[in-house]
Structure 1
Amino acid sequence: MNTAQYDHSLEKYAELAVKVGVNIQPGQYLWVAASIGTEDFVRLVVKKAYEAGAGNVHVQWSDEEVTRSFYEHAPEDEFNFYPPWLVEAHKEVIDKKGAILSIESENPDLLAGISTDRITSYAKVKAESLDYFYEVLEKDGISWSIVALPSQKWADKVFPDVSQNERVEKLWQAISRTVRIDQKNPVEAWNSHIELLQKRAAQLTEKNFAKLHYKGKGTDITVELPEDHIWLTGASKNEQGHPFIANLPTEEVYTVPHRLGVNGVVSNTKPLAYQGNIIDGFSLTFEEGRVVDIKAEIGLELLEKIVYMDDGSDYLGEIALVPHQSPISSTGILFYNTLFDENASNHFALGSCYPTCVKGGIFMNDLEREVHGLNDSVVHEDFMIGSEEMDIDGIHRDGTIEPVFRKGNWAF
């Protein structure tokens, strides 16, 4: 890898994360969550944030070996406990109207072989403890963004047939293309890309479909949509009106399904990487919105525990459209990372919804959301269902049918 070229690309990436991802504002507090191994990039992010006028920049480090040791050796009681001081720290970010930047670089198999009870128990108690924090994120109350950086173990998983000393560079090149830092002006490239996505989202909102009918390999499912639903993109505005992009990369337009209006069967087309485990070869059958049957070739026990984690985790909270002919899909790479794989494929999410996807949704109380068919859960787990074979029809409220996708791509 050309060191000078790599350093230049890393600096452009840091600038993109700060100026486009979280779009840091003068005096704004920034929390950076990152794993050991990303130090050079994190240092650049901190520098770029201060140069952009940030207030305090706090870095919260994690370490894979420490995380693995926790799940392997900690006392059983610890998996039903989440530190109150961490809850307060997250709340302080909201109170300060700060921003959150997460830098992913984890091994997809980090927790392979760990008890599924430990994994899901801790995931649940963490989600419950941070319920207020996640609700603010779902309402776009503060700016937040997720980016990724290659690690050796992640690259080993993605490129097992490539010489080991070339894998990290190959993964870095793929990430660079998908986040557009290989272009002369990445910020300008992102502005143009988001504009195109927003035009597509506006078209779908205007059509105001009553339902979408998906058909593909192992999938035949109908999803009802609330009458006042809105299609959105990865670009949002926080409560202060400042734009940010939650996921870099992003290729999706998404909305909310009606909680009780999902019927049929859906099958995954890419593995789901969940808490350091892989779930694959699975299908979910829905009746009146609820999952009534689960099958999986790999990770069935873990998938069942995710689906039935609470009263809302067995319903859908999000549907997203991504054409098969999109930049990430066109790489032909299976990333084993939802940040990338969900942006190469149509996908659904089990669990909580984004209330921003319904007119006035962020101002609704729990009862009003329920009346509008919005789902609530401690879970929000995306899984990929799209392929080059998928057809999707939009069903209008008068019963007429309009093609939305044909052979995995837009039909209009």
Structure 2
Amino acid sequence: MDPRVREHAEILADHSTEMSEGDNVVIQVSPEAEDLAVALHEIAGDRGANPIWLTYSDRADRAFMRARADEGNEFETPQHQLSCYEDADVFVIARGGANATEKGDVPPETTAAHRRSMNPVLKERLSKRWNLTQYPTPAHAQLAGMSTEGYENFVWDAINKDWDAQHEFQQGMVEIVNDADEIRIRSGDETDLTMSVAGNTAINDWGKNNMPAGEVFTAPVRDSVEGDVYFDMPLYRHGKEIEGVRLRFEEGRVESFSAETNEDALAGILNTDEGSRYLGELGIGMNRDIDRFTYNMLFDEKMGDTVHMAVGSAYPETVGEENEVNESAEHVDMIVDMSEGSTIEADGEVVQRNGTFVFEDGFE
């Protein structure tokens, strides 16, 4: 076993989820990530925790959803899975299947219906100690346009690092956002978006729920988002590449939208429920070890010189008591490149210009 797998597992167990004696641990990874599952089981044994491995298969998920599409997209919440999640204390979920586009031919409306049925299960998981991570597989290396060895180096360089130092670096942006009432994002000729963050909380993401981590994120006040945004980086959603997304917000809601490719998939996301038309998250990428785009949102949203925004559910811990938590079965991140012709403003003051923060060398 590559020693970096053991280091990865130790970070997940000790830093991310604080696995301890008596914890019921659910390890949900694909067969391709068996080494990570083995390392986590060994650590769980050392800690006195109780692990189970729930393998998953994108091929199986695809078969199930396509069969139900033929029956009218009727899905029930799997109560047996919900019961398992209710009894668990810790979750580790690792992406890394054999085919990154396996579910590309599942109809968007089927995917949306399935997401709605799984929402109670998702909420239960989010109430526990959990972490979503990535295992480097050839499929994701191919998606990123990299060799398998190069992708392994990329993944573990972004994960196996000094998270205390990363936390300290990001804290400067946390303080700026927490002191602000309004954030404005401008990039190029097509993005000019304002939102209130008054009363909400910025979170320093240093690896508790995502690994790799490396962002500062908050929620906008639900009805406050105004303006236009052009997401100039693509995203993969259930095996489909969506490019060139444009959204127009009025009183917080997406009132018009377009995409240069797979607009039907974008429509499926935005039409999942009422909450999927509102922003649930604003995130600012700050992990400088993620230095390239890889078609993997777990990494791409943390990349330095970017911001991302998620339509759909807000994380309750980011929303103040006086503000409304946006709820949805969706949470879909989309990215704006902030490396050129871009600024982030907090209450009218520029705090990032062309990817450089006000507290970094080189900010003018």
2:311 maps to 350
TM-score by length of 2: 0.91
The one-letter code of the counterpart of 1:284 is: L
- Uncovered stretches (5+) of structure 2, i.e. residues with no partner: 360-364
Q: Does 1:120 align with 2:79?
A: no
Paired with 1:66 and 1:357, the residues of 2 have a C-alpha distance of 35
Indicate the SS of the match to 1:80.
Answer: coil
Are residue 314 (structure 1) and residue 295 (structure 2) matched?
A: no
Which of 192, 204, 225 is equivalent to 1:262?
225
Q: CA deviation at 1:70?
A: 2.2
Question: Does 1:213 find its partner at 2:184?
Answer: yes
**Aligned twin of 1:294:** 257
What CA distance in whole angstroms lies between the structure 1 residues aligned with 2:112 and 2:183?
31
Q: 1:231: how far off?
A: 1.2
CA distance in structure 2 between the aligned counterparts of 1:104 and 1:327, rounded to whole angstroms: 19
CA distance in 1, matches of 2:238, 2:344: 31
- What is residue 145 of structure 1 aligned with on the other side? 131
Alignment of 1:144-163 (within 5 A): 144-159=130-145
Residue 265 of structure 1, CA deviation: 0.8
Aligned length: 353
Aligned to 1:60: 54
Letter in 2 for 1:204: V
Q: Which residue does the alignment assign to 1:178? A: 158
Identity rate, percent: 24
- Alpha carbons of structure 1 residues 199 and 49: separation in structure 2 relative to 1, 3 Å: farther
The alpha-carbon deviation at position 73 of structure 1 amounts to 3.5
1:386 alignment counterpart: 337
CA distance in 2, matches of 1:155, 1:391: 32
Contact 1:110 1:277 survives alignment (8 Å): no
What amino acid sits opposite 1:404 in the alignment? V
Q: Structure 1 length normalisation: TM-score?
A: 0.81
**One-letter identity of the residue aligned with 2:249:** F
The yes-or-no answer on 1:224 pairing with 2:224 is no
Query: How far off its partner does 1:31 sit?
Result: 0.6
Report the CA distance between 1:78 and its aligned residue.
6.2
1:81 corresponding residue in structure 2:
76
1: distance between equivalents of 2:133 and 2:335? 19
Structure 2 counterpart of 1:376: 327
Q: For residue 77 of structure 1, report the CA deviation from its aligned partner.
A: 5.1
CA distance in 2 between partners of 1:280 and 1:79 (Å): 29
| TM-superposed deviation, 1:112 | 1.6
In 1: Cα distance, 2:339 partner to 2:231 partner: 13
For the aligned residues, what is the CA RMSD? 2.0
Aligned to 1:17: 12
Distance 1:195 1:339 in 2: 21
Unaligned 5+ segments in structure 1 are: 1-5, 236-243, 362-367, 396-400
Deviation at 1:199, TM superposition (A): 4.3
Counterpart contact for 2:16–2:131, Cα < 8 Å: yes
Residues 36, 77 of structure 1: alpha-carbon distance in 2 compared, 3 angstrom cutoff: farther
Measured after TM superposition, the shift of residue 81 of structure 1 is: 2.1
State whether residues 313 and 379 of structure 1, in contact with CA within 8 Å, keep that contact through their aligned partners in structure 2: yes
